[in-house]
């Protein structure tokens, strides 16, 4: 066991630190310290800087504009960005780079890779993800959106829901049923569909914070070229599972870095409100520290697997449960510390963060209340806690599946 | 960067696991706890002499194998998984750890070297006597004070709930030093010393025997120099790391019982493990096991590198493992239903161990509060 990084990785770390120092103002504590509009402007500029230095899509091969970084370099980059409170690209890059881009590097044809990948990096194409449907949430494989080949084009009908950032996207990757007679998990294909066409309508959904960050997307005879299928036709479920399985190996250790920054804010909040002497609060704060330390150790373990090239497996389900349920408990503790102040949220907010807010976020009642409200979604999106527990029970412990209801 | 056991360590773990499964199934555990010693002395001979387990942490210079806290924790975990009653925990966590911590500089001559040599050879078991009657918790500062008269140091008073206190060849007594009231020391006493009365007592945890000790002018030798209570705590953090590892094993053992039963027990024409009400509790055990193992491994790693971070990592490991173990052991009984409440079923052995371990080194709540102090919240 050895927690030190090789010298070459430390040299790379210094290069990243220099790049960060050259591009952030003095005294910068993280993008959370910026007003929302200013933050968005800064984030766009920072994304260009990362792109210029080939630090945006670090795991892609260099021939498609990727960084071609070694795994340990990817880790170091993630850590330094997390410590500095800087994003690794835009919110849409989660879908463009992490999800569909990475999937194309595995399943894409040469033409698809050459066409799509550079356009993601240049910002020409901005992606969103069309998976969930009103009647297909946790039971994703029951999806009904249909795609039929007609005159060299897929014609798509149906609707997708909870599509984050669809309002910024000009492309969507969509799971469609392409063989309605096949078994549930067969007969699904992953299609790449341009959004700028009459057959697609995006309607925003206002979440419980009052913000429109996700959408419903309607397909009415929407079209895309027959060539825009990822992997074999009717094999979309396998392709999608690869995509979901992309462990955030490179960011294995960054969850703990971000949560630690959040916990420091919470300690400060407890002191400001003179609640830090209350044994109940002290116990809860210490528990939070314990969980962050557990996440850090698990991060080292995940990192070790990533560097060895091992598959994450059901541990990813444990990770999801652990951070999302921690996030809820931590933010509820903040509400308890705030006491009556939580009744009238005040000051700067959490800038619409969908998980832990960015480092530098103000220690205000509004920021914590927004985080506490947001935290309710963390145990639902990206696989609910109940789905994760099924995965752990069935895949890790070998417990029998629920019997299928026969009709 | 590598936060995983080495191939050699994994092989060692597998060997210990196999040893436990073959030599100490729970049926044998039940027999062992009926004996006067409270453990199978033949099994301990194999563990100490053939496998060299008590000598793991002991430097090669005095006959040990010079292994790390990570290795010692791994063994504790495997023994905990099988609830193996043995002098391993007391001898290593409560004996070897304070002996090594009080060696002045390097291990050469001296009483520590003599005792460690005997332990490494498999001929000596140890324990520490700490808890006193009416202590606020098992980790509160002690009040029994050593007496020094005419160049002779003796101990008089009462220590309770001493693990393996009735069998240990040598007992280390934590006491206020004779020199100053705010200083403490680890005092070495022979198990058969004159003036020492040891009474084996009934225990909640059937697999971990304890004795109460009466000391009446018992001759003793102080190990190392007198120290502050927080220095005593730094030593106990290392002991706690091994207890946490043992609890991780216990958690896994209890979880395995529950999971295996849920696969085979049928009700309503299906295995009960297919019901989410059962499956999800088992999944939560797996989450808590993963958390506890990560915390325990991290603490053991810090202990092996003498990192001061152990002061905060040890209470995290203890509280996380204790809460997880108690959760798994409670639900193990519930998932078994009526049969889980019977004497003949093994579920209560794990539950008893879990509830006893939960207070042995302070409850999770006490550990979280201690952590808050140490973090300076």
Per-chain mean pLDDT for chain B: 96
For residues B193-213, average pLDDT: 98
- The pLDDT assigned to B363 comes to 93
B172–chain A nearest CA distance, Å: 31
With CA atoms as reference, the chain B residue closest to A269 would be: B377
For residues B49-58, average pLDDT: 97
| Residue B24 main-chain phi, psi, to 5 deg | -135, 60
B4–chain A nearest CA distance, Å: 6
Confidence of residue B172 (pLDDT cuts 50, 70, 90): very high
Q: Which residues of chain B have a CB within 8 Å of the CB of A392? A: 283, 286-287
Tell me the C-alpha to C-alpha distance, in Å, between residue B306 and each of A55, A335, B93, B185, B374. Answer: 37, 38, 16, 21, 17
Confidence of residue A403 (pLDDT cuts 50, 70, 90): confident
Distance (Å, whole) CA A368 – CA A362: 9
Q: Which residues of chain B have a CB within 8 Å of the CB of A315? A: 290
B131–chain A nearest CA distance, Å: 24
Tens of pLDDT, residue by residue over A332-355, are: 999 999 999 999 999 999 988 889
Distance (Å, whole) CA B30 – CA B352: 13
* A51 pLDDT more than 60: yes
- The pLDDT assigned to A350 comes to 93
- B377 vs A285: CB contact, 8 Å cut-off? yes
* Residue labelled with tokens 């009483």: B111
- The pLDDT assigned to B163 comes to 98
Provide the number of CB pairs (under 8 Å) joining chain A to chain B: 147
Tell me if chain A has a CB within 8 Å of the CB of B70.
yes
| Residue A163 main-chain phi, psi, to 5 deg | -85, 105
- A293 vs B295: CB contact, 8 Å cut-off? yes
Token couple for A134: 């009103």
Please tell me which of the candidates A2, A296, A318 has its beta carbon nearest to residue B290. A318
- The pLDDT assigned to B151 comes to 87
Contact by Cβ (8 Å): B316, B299: yes
- The pLDDT assigned to A168 comes to 95
Domains and CATH numbers, chain B: 7-124 (1.10.540.10), 127-227 (2.40.110.10), 230-375 (1.20.140.10)
Contact by Cβ (8 Å): A260, A294: no
- A390 vs B270: CB contact, 8 Å cut-off? no
Per-chain mean pLDDT for chain A: 94
For residues B208-226, average pLDDT: 96
Query: Which CATH number describes the domain made up of A249-396?
Result: 1.20.140.10
Tens of pLDDT, residue by residue over A247-299, are: 566 778 888 999 999 999 999 999 999 999 999 999 999 999 999 999 999 99
Tell me the C-alpha to C-alpha distance, in Å, between residue A203 and each of A128, A216, B108, B347. Answer: 14, 5, 78, 55
Tens of pLDDT, residue by residue over B315-349, are: 999 999 999 999 999 999 999 999 999 999 999 99
Q: For chain B, what percent of residues have pLDDT higher than 70?
A: 99
- The pLDDT assigned to A246 comes to 61
Q: Which residues of chain A have a CB within 8 Å of the CB of B375? A: 286, 289
Tell me if chain B has a CB within 8 Å of the CB of A274.
no
For residues B175-200, average pLDDT: 96
Q: Which residues of chain A have a CB within 8 Å of the CB of B319? A: 287, 290
For residues B197-226, average pLDDT: 97
The residue among B136, B135, B205 whose CA lies nearest residue B164 is: B205
- The pLDDT assigned to B95 comes to 98
Token couple for A354: 């969908």
Task: Provide CATH 1.20.140.10 ranges for chain A.
Answer: 249-396
Q: Which residues of chain A have a CB within 8 Å of the CB of B296? A: none
- The pLDDT assigned to A149 comes to 97
- A389 vs B369: CB contact, 8 Å cut-off? no
The residue among A191, A200, A187 whose CA lies nearest residue A143 is: A187
Confidence of residue A118 (pLDDT cuts 50, 70, 90): very high
A247 an active-site residue? Answer: yes
- The pLDDT assigned to B1 comes to 85
Confidence of residue B106 (pLDDT cuts 50, 70, 90): low
| Residue B159 main-chain phi, psi, to 5 deg | -125, 140
- The pLDDT assigned to A75 comes to 92
- The pLDDT assigned to B104 comes to 73
The residue among B224, B219, B212, B208 whose CA lies nearest residue B93 is: B208
Confidence of residue B65 (pLDDT cuts 50, 70, 90): very high
- A398 vs B312: CB contact, 8 Å cut-off? no
Tell me if chain B has a CB within 8 Å of the CB of A109.
no
Tell me if chain A has a CB within 8 Å of the CB of B271.
yes
- In the stretch 273-332 of chain B, residues with CB closer than 8 A to chain A read 273-276, 278-280, 282-284, 286-287, 290-291, 294-295, 297-298, 301, 304, 312-313, 315-316, 319-320
For residues B101-113, average pLDDT: 79
Choosing from A216, A247, A260, A330, which is the catalytic residue?
A247
* B109 pLDDT more than 80: no
- B377 vs A286: CB contact, 8 Å cut-off? yes
For residues A42-64, average pLDDT: 93
- The pLDDT assigned to A407 comes to 57
Handedness of CA A129, A135, A140, A145 (dihedral sign): negative
Level-2 CATH architecture, domain A7-89:
Orthogonal Bundle (1.10)
- The pLDDT assigned to A57 comes to 92
Q: Which residues of chain A have a CB within 8 Å of the CB of B290? A: 298, 315, 318, 322
* A244 pLDDT more than 80: no
Q: Which residues of chain A have a CB within 8 Å of the CB of B304? A: 1
Tens of pLDDT, residue by residue over B241-295, are: 999 999 999 999 999 999 999 999 999 999 999 999 999 999 999 999 999 999 9
Task: Provide CATH 1.10.540.10 ranges for chain A.
Answer: 7-89
Give domain A125-236's CATH number out of 2.60.40.2130, 3.40.1160.10, 2.40.110.10, 1.10.3720.10: 2.40.110.10
DSSP per residue, A229-251: EESSTTBHHHHHHHHHH---GGG
Contact by Cβ (8 Å): A173, A129: yes
Beta-strand pair B146-149/A146-150 = unpaired
With CA atoms as reference, the chain B residue closest to A75 would be: B1
Give A71's contacts (C-beta < 8 A, 6+ positions apart). A249, A250, A306, A307, A309
- In the stretch 94-153 of chain B, residues with CB closer than 8 A to chain A read none
Confidence of residue B108 (pLDDT cuts 50, 70, 90): low
Distance of CA A63 to the CA centre of its chain: 25
In B191-213, which positions are buried (b, 16+ CB within 10 angstroms) versus exposed (e)? bebeebebebeebebbbbbbbbb
Helix (H, G, I), strand (E, B) or coil at A123: coil
- The pLDDT assigned to B131 comes to 95
* A196 pLDDT more than 90: yes
Radius of gyration of chain A (CA): 22
- B283 vs A6: CB contact, 8 Å cut-off? no
For residues B142-166, average pLDDT: 95
List the end-to-end C-alpha distance of chain B, in Å, as a whole number: 31
């Amino acid at each position: 066991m050895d927690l030190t990084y090789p010298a070459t990785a430390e040299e790379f770390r210094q290069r990243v630190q220099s790049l960060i120092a050259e591009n952030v103002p003095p005294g910068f504590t993280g993008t959370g310290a910026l007003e929302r509009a200013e933050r968005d402007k800064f984030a766009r500029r920072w994304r260009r800087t990362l792109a210029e230095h080939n630090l945006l899509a670090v795991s892609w091969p260099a021939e498609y504009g990727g960084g071609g970084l070694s795994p340990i370099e990817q880790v170091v980059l993630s850590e330094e960005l997390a410590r500095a409170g800087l994003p690794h690209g835009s919110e849409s890059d989660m879908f463009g780079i992490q999800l569909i881009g990475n999937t194309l590097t595995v399943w894409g044809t040469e033409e698809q890779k050459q066409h799509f990948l550079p356009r993601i990096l240049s910002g020409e194409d901005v992606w969103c993800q069309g998976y969930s449907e009103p009647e297909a949430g946790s039971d994703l494989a029951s999806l009904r959106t249909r795609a039929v080949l007609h005159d060299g084009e897929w014609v798509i009908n149906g609707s997708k829901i909870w599509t984050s950032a669809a309002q910024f996207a000009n492309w969507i990757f969509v799971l469609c049923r392409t063989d309605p007679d096949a078994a549930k998990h067969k007969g699904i294909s992953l299609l790449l569909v341009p959004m700028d066409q009459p057959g697609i309508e995006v309607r925003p959904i206002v979440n419980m914070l009052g913000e429109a960050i996700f959408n419903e997307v309607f397909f009415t005879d929407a079209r895309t070229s027959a060539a825009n299928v990822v992997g074999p036709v009717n094999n979309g479920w396998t392709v999608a599972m690869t995509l979901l399985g992309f462990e955030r190996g490179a960011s294995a250790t960054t969850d703990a870095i971000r949560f630690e920054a959040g916990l420091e804010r919470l300690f400060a909040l407890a002191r400001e409100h003179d609640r830090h002497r209350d044994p109940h609060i002290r116990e809860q704060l210490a528990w939070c520290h314990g969980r962050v330390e557990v996440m850090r150790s698990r991060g080292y373990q995940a990192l070790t697997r990533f560097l060895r090239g091992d598959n994450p497996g059901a541990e990813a389900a444990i990770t999801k449960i652990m951070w999302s349920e921690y996030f809820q408990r931590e933010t509820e503790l903040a509400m308890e510390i705030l006491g009556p102040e939580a009744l009238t949220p005040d000051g700067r907010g959490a800038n619409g963060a969908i998980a832990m807010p960015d480092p530098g976020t103000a220690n205000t009642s509004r920021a914590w209340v927004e985080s506490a409200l947001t935290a309710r979604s963390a145990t639902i999106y990206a696989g609910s806690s109940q789905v994760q527990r099924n995965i752990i029970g069935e895949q890790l412990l070998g417990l029998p599946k629920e019997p299928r209801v026969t009709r | 960067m590598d936060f995983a056991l080495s191939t050699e360590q994994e092989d060692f773990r597998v060997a210990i696991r196999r040893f436990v499964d073959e030599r100490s199934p729970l049926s044998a555990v039940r027999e062992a706890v009926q004996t006067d010693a409270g453990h199978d002395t033949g099994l301990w001979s194999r563990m100490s002499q053939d496998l060299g387990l008590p000598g793991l942490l002991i430097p090669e210079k005095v006959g040990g194998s010079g292994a790390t806290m990570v290795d010692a924790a791994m063994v504790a975990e495997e023994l905990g998984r099988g609830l193996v009653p043995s002098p391993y925990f007391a001898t290593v966590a409560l004996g070897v750890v304070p002996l090594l911590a009080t060696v002045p500089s390097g291990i050469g001559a001296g009483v520590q070297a003599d005792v460690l040599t005997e332990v490494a050879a498999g001929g000596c078991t140890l324990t520490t006597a700490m808890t006193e009657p009416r202590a606020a918790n098992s980790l509160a500062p002690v009040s029994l004070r050593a007496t020094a008269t005419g160049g002779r140091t003796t101990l008089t008073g009462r220590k309770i709930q001493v693990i393996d206190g009735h069998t240990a060849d040598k007992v280390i007594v934590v006491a206020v030093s004779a020199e100053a009231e705010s200083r403490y020391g680890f005092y070495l006493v022979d198990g058969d010393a004159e003036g020492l009365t040891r009474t084996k007592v009934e225990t909640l945890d059937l697999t971990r025997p304890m004795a109460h000790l009466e000391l009446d002018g018992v001759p003793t030798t102080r190990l190392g120099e007198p120290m502050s209570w927080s220095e005593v705590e730094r030593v106990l953090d290392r002991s706690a790391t091994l207890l946490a590892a043992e609890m991780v094993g216990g958690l896994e053992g209890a979880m395995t019982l529950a999971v295996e039963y849920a696969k085979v027990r049928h009700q309503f024409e299906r295995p009960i493990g297919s019901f989410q009400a059962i499956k999800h509790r088992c999944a939560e055990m797996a989450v808590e096991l993963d958390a506890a193992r990560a915390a325990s491994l991290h603490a053991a790693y810090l202990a092996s590198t003498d990192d001061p971070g152990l002061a905060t990592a040890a209470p995290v490991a203890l509280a996380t493992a204790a809460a997880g173990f108690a959760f798994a052991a409670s639900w193990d009984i519930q998932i078994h239903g009526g049969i889980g409440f019977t004497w003949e079923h093994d579920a209560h052995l794990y539950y008893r161990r879990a509830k006893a371990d939960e207070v042995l080194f302070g409850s999770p709540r006490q550990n979280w509060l201690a952590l808050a102090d140490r973090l300076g919240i």
